[in-house]
Chains A and B, each alone.
Chain A
Amino acid sequence: MIREFGPNEIIFIAMAIRWTIALSAIAFVGGGIGGLIIALMRVSDRPVLRALALGFIRLFQGTPLLMQLFIVYFGLNIVGLPTSPWIAAGVALTLHASAFLGEIWRGCIEAVPPGQTEAANALAYSYGVRMRNVILPQAARIAVAPTTGFLVQLIKGTSLASIIGFTELTRAGQIISNATFQPFLVISTVAVLYFILCWPLSLLARRMERRFARATAR
């Protein structure tokens, strides 16, 4: 039976937005933790840590997100874990975000003038104090805008999780599209919903970028 594309269908799609948000949040929080570790490894004094982090970043920057989703999805099966779209999408997007945020934040840490590290060292601060109290707070200000920009990418990237069967916004759209045979209308609706989610963030990122540019110009 062919369904009409009516209010119920729109509500069904709109409700799926929470899974897009949930998956984005998991990947962003997980990627935030992973990214901080990767970024700190990248600026470490130890060549081994630097090389490991660089390899991780290259791997995830050099392969499509879709392949990363597939590999984690099927890889879970191989290591004997249940093949769940939730776990696979969560893990794959977390690793993906870790690599990208790691690289973004490495740049932000390195943008803090080297004199700050020297002053902290000369004052006998430990590594922890130097990072927590001196370097990272300054890097964080630089990082706000590019990090928000990456969050927008990440939200859009979650749409690929539909392919491994994760029912988020895009997959909900496909389901309705298959039932109503009105793909153009349905997918357009989905796109509008993504836009409503991402556009304010993009605006925010741009505004923060401008504010930062002004602050550093002073």
Chain B
Amino acid sequence: MRNGLPSHSRNLRFNSMANMNANGKSHPPAQMAQGATAPAIEMIGIDKWFGGFQALKNVNLSVQPSEKIVICGPSGSGKSTLIRCINQLETIQSGEIRIDGKALASDAASIRAARRDIGMVFQQFNLFPHLTILENCMLGPVKVAGKSREEAERIGRSYLERVRIPEQADKYPAQLSGGQQQRVAIARALCMQPKIMLFDEPTSALDPEMVNEVLDTMIDLASDGMTMICVTHEMGFARSVADRVIFMDHGEIIEENAPDAFFEAPKHARTRTFLGQIA
């Protein structure tokens, strides 16, 4: 499997490799796409331009339900852009993205419908500062999912419990530490009961002593079987949680592998250089 195929044709194969590891035999990609478990996320030949600058170059990525992907790479390599294309915060110029086998459409109603299944956590938390922690969590369930206030409050409190800050429910975001705010952001996303969670450098804006509380929450979520794509340089997290680690540079997926192989035997010189820099 780990041969010198160009990266985009290798992506689908690695995907099936994850499957192979689980059940001991390999399936060709076509069969997987048609099977009962369509990939949770499928990106096929994605090109993304910002004006004359190409931020993503023929990106191919397939993520199985419950799979955990860690994306790393130098700043400006297109990691954020890649995951922001999945929930259509960015529009792509060519290629196709499928969620649960269904191709994303560009009309407003379809975009919103697709986003309901995809939670996102940002580097800067982006909590709503004028709402309390609980209100941050309740707004979506009430206004988007049409739940009653009682039901929304129950959901909100249960997820705040899960991220271990139920006692902060009535405070405002500015009264919380960075780590607490990020955990609220995770709870807020979970309140929409998404099938997929995207994390864009969730610990990069945190003081070092707060990184672990957020990572622990993410590990907890991973062990519950959530499909996750995490842009992060936290290599400990990648090793313990990721099914695959993807390395990006200059808008391309350069290399992807199971975490142990990725960190111990990176194939590409650029990957080695990068790993040397962050170690």
Listed in ascending order, the chain A residues whose CB lies under 8 Å from chain B are 113, 115-116, 118-119, 121-127, 129, 133-134, 137-138, 141, 218
Contact = CB atoms under 8 A, between A and B. Distances in A.
A125 B139 CA distance: 9
B126 interface: yes
Interface string B102-140: 000000100011011011101010111110000000011
Contact of B140 (A118, A123, A138): A123
B89 A118 contact: yes
Contacts of A218: 174
A122 B139 contact: no
A116 B188 CA distance: 13
Given A124-B116, A124-B192, A129 B139 contact: yes
Contacts, number: 63
A134 B139 CA distance: 9
A113 B128 CA distance: 10
Interface in B182-201: 185, 188-189, 192
Interface of B: 87, 89, 108, 112-113, 115-116, 118-120, 122, 124, 126-130, 139-140, 143-144, 174, 185, 188-189, 192
A137 B130 contact: yes
B183 to A, nearest CB: 15
A123 B127 CA distance: 11
A177 B192 CA distance: 69
Contacts of A141: 130
Nearest to A218: B174
Given A124-B112, A124-B192, A119 B126 contact: yes
B130 A115 contact: no
Contacts of A118: 89, 122, 126
What 3 pairs between A and B have smallest CB-CB spacing?
A119-B126, A124-B115, A122-B120
A137 B126 CA distance: 15
6 contacts: A122-B119, A123-B139, A123-B144, A124-B113, A126-B112, A134-B128
A115 B139 CA distance: 17
A125 B122 contact: no
Given A116-B126, A116-B128, A218-B174, A121 B143 contact: no
Contacts of B188: 123
B143 A125 contact: yes
A51 B113 CA distance: 30
Contacts of B129: 138
Most chain A CB within a 10 A radius of its CB, from B113, B119, B143, B174: B143
Secondary structure type dominating chain A contacts = helix
Given A123-B139, A126-B143, 5 more contacts: A118-B122, A122-B115, A124-B112, A124-B113, A134-B139
Contact of A124 (B124, B144, B174): B144
A190 to B, nearest CB: 42
A126 B144 contact: yes
Contacts of A133: 128, 139, 143
A138 B130 CA distance: 7
Given A137-B130, A138-B129, A121 B140 contact: no
A129 B144 contact: yes
B140 A124 contact: yes
B18 to A, nearest CB: 26
A200 to B, nearest CB: 27
A113 B188 CA distance: 19
B126 A115 contact: yes
B86 to A, nearest CB: 10
B125 to A, nearest CB: 8
A125 B144 contact: yes
A126 B185 CA distance: 19
A17 to B, nearest CB: 37
A20 B113 CA distance: 51
A134 B131 CA distance: 9
Nearest to A128: B143
A49 to B, nearest CB: 15
Contacts of B126: 113, 115-116, 118-119
Nearest to A119: B126
Contact of B122 (A115, A124, A127, A137): A115
B192 A123 contact: yes
Contacts of A123: 115, 119, 139-140, 144, 188-189, 192
A124 to B, nearest CB: 4
A113 B126 CA distance: 9
B128 A121 contact: no
Contacts of A119: 120, 122, 126-128, 185
A116 B120 CA distance: 13
